[in-house]
């Protein structure tokens, strides 16, 4: 991958990991896991979402970026949901309830659209900044002036030289 594609992939990985954790917490609370998760559950969720983000950043999604992004978000949220289910003090079953499932599905669509927009915005912003930096760091070449340098005519000096030039003795003496 080129540098810009690698940057977009890292951006995508960070967004997928972050939104997977946030949506897993929100959907878990919305869908019946009313109690706040314990500290150990949150730490496990952070580790799971960070690993999801790292894996997503390493995947090449040039063929079908939107479909791959939706699948990665769904997988990240499933991992986050499973992590919260296993690590929480209360158990509500592995199968999510209907409101929780609806919240996860809606979040996949909204997050996929937001992440694709952020990727496109990043590409536009990065290329604009690169163009501006290239223009600012271009070596400066002095502009040549269309005026040419001319000597100044001084009539008094020229007249004096003409008058005094014929009075001197020049050449061998004449024998008369």
Q: What is the pLDDT of residues 128-163, one digit of tens each?
A: 998 999 988 888 777 776 777 676 666 666 666 666
Q: CA distances (Å), 82 to each of 44, 76, 147, in order?
A: 11, 10, 79
What pLDDT is attached to residue 128?
92
Whether the pLDDT of residue 96 is over 90: the answer is no
The answer, as to whether pTM is greater than 0.75, is no
Mean pLDDT, rounded, of the chain: 78
Please give the Cα distance from 46 to 98 (Å, whole number).
25
Spatial contact of 112 and 69, defined as CB atoms under 8 Å apart: yes
Residue 131 structure tokens? 């163009």
In this predicted model, what pLDDT tens digit does every residue of 46-64 receive, in sequence order? 889 899 889 888 887 777 7
What is the crossing angle of helices 98-136 and 65-87, to 10°? 130
Whether the pLDDT of residue 27 is over 80: the answer is no
Please give the Cα distance from 110 to 70 (Å, whole number).
10
CA angle 123, 107, 25 (to 5 degrees): 110
């Amino acid at each position: 991958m080129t540098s810009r594609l690698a940057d977009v992939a890292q951006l995508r990985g960070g967004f997928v990991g972050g939104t997977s954790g946030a949506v897993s917490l929100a959907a878990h609370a919305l869908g019946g896991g009313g109690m706040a998760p314990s500290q150990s559950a949150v730490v496990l969720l952070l580790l799971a979402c960070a690993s999801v983000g790292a894996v997503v950043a390493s995947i090449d999604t040039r063929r079908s970026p939107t479909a791959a992004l939706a699948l990665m978000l769904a997988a990240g949220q499933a991992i986050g949901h499973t992590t919260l289910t296993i690590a929480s003090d209360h158990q509500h079953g592995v199968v999510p309830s209907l409101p929780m499932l609806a919240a996860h599905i809606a979040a996949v669509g909204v997050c996929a659209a937001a992440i694709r927009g952020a990727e496109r915005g990043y590409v536009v912003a990065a290329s604009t900044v690169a163009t501006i930096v290239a223009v600012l760091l271009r070596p400066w070449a002095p502009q040549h002036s269309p005026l040419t340098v001319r000597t100044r005519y001084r009539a008094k000096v020229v007249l004096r030289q003409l008058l005094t030039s014929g009075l001197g003795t020049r050449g061998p003496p004449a024998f008369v």
